Chain A
Amino acid sequence: MNSTQILLWDVLPYVTIAVFVVGMLWRFRYDKFGWTTRSSQLYERSLLRIASPLFHLGMLAVVAGHVVGLLIPESWTNAVGVSEHFYHLNAVALGAVAGAATLVGVAMLVYRRRTTGPVFAATTKNDKTMYVFLLAAICLGLVATMTGAGVLGDGYNYRETVSVWFRSIFILQPQGELMADTPLAFRVHALAGMALFMVWPFTRLVHAFSAPLGYLFRPYVVYRTRSASTAGNRTPRPGWDRTNA
């Protein structure tokens, strides 16, 4: 492995994790007010009604696919009797549906952003940048999937290399050499993915990490007592908490 490869596959992943984690914590501490979906439904709803669920549900399926494909070792699925061929067929079939939904969804979202006057007017530079990174990751991901499935080229079992590399990062024994020889599509997609996670904390994408699952478990009506820490409808910024002096 040359030094570029070490940088890309052994070092960059940790940089990504650091930027992502520190960025999210920092954003949460200092910009709770900016932490929102910034819904644009008020401006336009007929396109959004189809585009947003299509994109999000597709995206959630894609995330699930990544979890299964990257985190679960091939030996485990083999051990429970799922053959490589069977796994592959399923992954390709489900992946194709999810990928198509995501792609169509995101295309509609971008089209909507560009063509609906009020939505376009409310689109910030930050949103545009975010979409560049998001689109890059999605499109390159599709190319990688097609490469893996043999639609482009002769197929490739990424679970033997990419997935092992991915897990190696989290057990702190990075095996960058596994990535060095994978097809270009996988390498570029991995880079786009890392880039996306590095900009993530600084865009509206943070909303994904506040998915309100707690709603299922809390009582319907929330009561709060005025307390020293929450005056009015605002929590003091860190370091500016009240004292009793």
Chain B
Amino acid sequence: MKVMAQMGMVMNLDKCIGCHTCSVTCKQAWTNRTGVEYVWFNNVETRPGLGYPRTYEDQETWRGGWERTRRGRLRLKGGGRFKKLASIFSNPKLPSLDDYYEPWTYEYDTLISAPLGEHTPVAQPKSLITGKPMKIEWSANWDDDLGGGPEVISEDPVLVKIRDQVADRVKLDFENAFMFYLPRICEHCLNPSCVASCPSGAMYKRAEDGIVLVDQDRCRGWRMCVSGCPYKKVYFNHKTGKAEKCTFCYPRVEVGMPTVCSETCVGRLRYLGLFLYDADRVLEAASVEDEQDLYRAQLDLMLDPHDPEVIAAAQRDGIPSDWLTAAQKSPVYRLAKEFEVALPLHPEYRTMPMVWYIPPLSPVVDALVETGHDGEDARNLFGAIDSLRIPKEYLAELFTAGDTDVIDTVLRKLAAMRSTMRDVNLGREVDVSAAEAVGFDESTVYELYRLLAIAKYEERYVIPAAHSEQAHELEELGCSLDFDEGPGMYGSGPFGEASGMPVPVAVENFHALKQRQTSEAVLDTGNKRGRVNLLNWDGKGAPAGVFPPDPGKGS
């Protein structure tokens, strides 16, 4: 047994209202630069829908992730090392910009500078790629809330897969449609196929906390990671020619702050914490024969942080004691392993994703109430799960490689919790039969309820700061050339715009905030330094620079 720690996330889909706040704040913090205009480290998809990039889940086309050979070994679905090198000159499976969308802006200036005339001036859309006027035809969530209707939605790869089984129940016409939101970030997989696909070895998994990163100095732009990731969560920065991806907000996490998407989540549905797992068995677990066993296998990798044997092994393997404590209090461990209500997204890709989802139940309750039933009565609920408007098969295809029994169990647990808690809230005698039917006792139900419904900030985000003995190493170092118009700062190095040094996160923040707070204009669009940066906002008060200075107060 080799114990390693992994930062993980759980999202409770019941609570996502699809407001895209997470996406917007993430973009503010990480991808509001040229070259990554089209990139959303965090995106929120409406399901059913095509996803972003379009139909990324169709691995027969995109060939991301791993597959199991007949002899039981794991192989990159996109082809092994030789095939990767042989196709390096032109990557056959790289999505083109159209599969994401062509980013654009509007010519806002014409609105105020147009001469007086008969017609109201319009702000034309202008491509951020070519600078020419363009016709907007797609975006990161063009099919938001089922936009585009049945013609578009029916191409959802998950829907295509289950169409035959549930033809009679999946209705896409307006009155019968179903939908829910699926916020997605990089899964920071235990068996990351992006890392395995990188020819230059620039991508790595951090041994301390499992965060998967791209070394910007070693990436050579072979763009194989983009195809390797089945979730399409590595992006190519077309200006710098380097890959970029969700960083799990490592500069924040290292000092104990939650990721920006979690911090700003309106539904407060994200949970952050540690898993301890057995690194020696990852490959074995990822290679189990039956795809539907992958969820179990992944769950079995997660070690019980209270088990004395695990604790001893963790100490032997150099996990600091404050990290052990954090692992014991980890909400993600509890949701995924103790209560078994959180499921991995697409376990069949065999990458062992570490962002887990609690499947949505609420449409059932609503549907019951609408038909005049008591929507929170366990018996009604259990019965209704079978005829869910969101077909179980659909959820199963997302979270359990098609195993509807697991979905059924999870939804029953959630339903049992609701009905039990209703008894409590109404001061009625608590009927424990529903809870017992799913293997919970009353106190377990209460704990689950607490965690899902009323857990406070400190309970939702249990993030041990990086070890104190390392703390001084973590703050990125700036250097004299990084300042002002030095070659490293914001732009052109000696060999055109892409060269020079990447801007260190800490220095960028410093400049962004300073500039924002001292600039005259409300929004200085021409200057990247004028933007608000949420990366170091700790959730208290308003983020610096979001609002223009109060003129009344003077300066």
Contacts and interface: CB of A to CB of B under 8 A. Distances in A.
B281 to A, nearest CB: 14
A121 B131 contact: yes
A34 B495 contact: yes
Residue picked from B81, B92, B131, most chain A C-beta under 10 Å: B81
Given A42-B97, A122-B238, A215-B85, A31 B206 contact: no
A237 interface: yes
A53 B131 CA distance: 29
A232 interface: yes
Contacts of B132: 117
A218 B81 CA distance: 10
Contact of A36 (B215, B219, B473, B500): B219
Given A34-B498, A45-B90, A124-B497, A231 B474 contact: yes
A33 B493 contact: yes
A228 interface: yes
Contacts of A48: 90
A242 interface: yes
B348 to A, nearest CB: 19
Which range contains the number of A residues in contact with the other chain?
35 or more
Contacts of A35: 220
A153 interface: no
A225 B207 contact: yes
Given A38-B498, A221-B191, A232 B479 contact: no
A221 B192 contact: yes
B221 interface: yes
A40 B90 CA distance: 10
Interface residues of B, number: 72
A68 B129 CA distance: 44
Interface stretch (A135-143, A181-189, A202-210): A202-210
Given A207-B221, A221-B196, A221-B205, A228 B89 contact: no
Contact of A215 (B91, B199, B251): B199
Contacts of B84: 215
A42 B238 contact: yes
A134 to B, nearest CB: 16
A85 interface: no
Given A37-B220, A53-B89, A226-B473, A212 B498 contact: no
Contacts of A57: 89
A233 B81 contact: no
Residue picked from B191, B213, B217, most chain A C-beta under 10 Å: B217
22 contacts: A31-B501, A32-B217, A33-B498, A34-B496, A36-B219, A36-B240, A36-B242, A39-B236, A41-B90, A41-B96, A45-B90, A126-B496, A221-B192, A223-B204, A223-B206, A231-B474, A232-B251, A232-B476, A232-B505, A237-B481, A240-B477, A240-B479
Interface of B: 76, 81-82, 84-85, 88-92, 94, 96-97, 129-132, 191-192, 195-196, 198-201, 203-208, 213-223, 236, 238-242, 247, 250-251, 466, 470, 473-477, 479, 481, 493-502, 504-505
Interface of A: 31-45, 48-50, 52-53, 55-57, 117-118, 121-122, 124-127, 202-203, 207, 210, 212-216, 218, 220-228, 230-237, 240, 242
Given A33-B502, A41-B91, A49-B90, 8 more contacts: A34-B495, A39-B221, A41-B223, A43-B97, A203-B495, A215-B84, A234-B502, A242-B473
